Amino acid sequence: MIHFEDVSVTYDGAAEPTVSHVDFEVPEGELVLLAGPSGVGKSTVLGAVGGLVPHFTGGTLSGRVTVAGRDTRTHKPRELADVVGTVGQDPLSHFVTDTVEDELAYGMESLGLAPDVMRRRVEETLDLLGLAALRSRPIATLSGGQQQRVAIGSVLTPHPDVLVLDEPTSALDPAAAEEVLAVLQRLVHDLGTTVLMAEHRLERVIQYADQVVLLPAPGAAPVLGAPADVMAVSPVYPPVVGLGRLADWSPLPLTIRDARRRAAPLRERLSTREIPDHTPPSAAQLPAPPALRPAPARWWRRNSQTTSPTTPTPTPYAAEVRSLAVRRGGVQALRHVGLTVSPGETVALMGRNGAGKSTLLSALVGLVEPSAGSVRAGDAVPHRTAPRDLVRRVGLVPQEPRDLLYADTVAAECVAADRDADAPSGTCRALLTELLPGVTDDTHPRDLSEGQRLTLALSVVLTAHPPLLLLDEPTRGLDYAAKSRLTGILRGLAAEGHAIVLATHDVELAAELAHRVVLLAEGEVIADGPAADVVVTSPSYAPQVAKILSPLKWLTVTQVREALT
Partner 1 sequence: MGAGGTLHAPASAPTRHSRPAPTHPGAWWLWALSLGTAATRTTNPLLLALLITVSAYVVITRRPHAPWSRSYGAFVKLALAVLLIRLLFTTILGSPIPGTHTLLTLPEVPLPHWAQGIRLGGPVTAEGLAFALYDAMKLATLLICVGAANALANPARLLKSLPGALYEMGVAVVVALTFAPNLIADVQRLRAARRLRGRPDRGVRGLLQVGLPVLEGALERSVALAAAMDARGYGRTARVPAPVRRTTAALTLGGLLGICAGTYGLLTAAGGTYGIPVLVAGVAAALGGLWLGGRRTVRTRYRPDRWDARAWLVTASGVAVAALLFLAAARDPAALHPGVVPLTAPTLPLWPAAAVLLGLLPAFVTSAPENTMGTPVKEPS
Which of 134/348 has CB closer to partner 1? Answer: 134
Which of 20/148 has CB closer to partner 1? Answer: 148
Which of 41/366 has CB closer to partner 1? Answer: 366
For residue 76, how many other CB atoms are within 10 A of its CB?
Answer: 12
The answer to whether 121 and 71 are in contact (CB under 8 A) is: no
Q: What H or E segment, with its residue span, contains residue 327? A: strand 319-328
Which of 228/503 has CB closer to partner 1? Answer: 503
CB of 8 to partner 1, least distance (A): 21
CB of 379 to partner 1, least distance (A): 17
- List b or e across 123-147, with b for residues whose CB sees 16 or more CB atoms inside 10 angstroms: eebbebbebeebeebebeebebbbb
CB of 200 to partner 1, least distance (A): 19
Specify whether the backbone of 363 is left (phi greater than 0), alpha (psi in -120 to 50) or beta. alpha
Which of 118/252 has CB closer to partner 1? Answer: 118
CB of 289 to partner 1, least distance (A): 12
The answer to whether 205 and 197 are in contact (CB under 8 A) is: yes
Q: For residues 513 and 346, give the distance between their C-alpha atoms in angstroms, rounded to a whole number.
A: 7
Which of 13/437 has CB closer to partner 1? Answer: 13
Torsion of CA 389, 523, 514, 345, to 10 degrees: 40
Cα four-point dihedral sign 425, 428, 432, 434:
positive
Which of 112/312 has CB closer to partner 1? Answer: 112
SS3 413: helix
Phi, psi torsion values for 441, nearest 5 degrees: -60, -35
CB of 119 to partner 1, least distance (A): 7
CB of 81 to partner 1, least distance (A): 3
Which of 118/349 has CB closer to partner 1? Answer: 118
Radius of gyration of the chain (CA): 25
CB of 251 to partner 1, least distance (A): 32
SS3 497: coil
Q: For residues 29 and 96, give the distance between their C-alpha atoms in angstroms, rounded to a whole number.
A: 29
Tell me the HSE value of 189 on the side-chain side, using a 13 A CA sphere: 9
CB of 136 to partner 1, least distance (A): 5
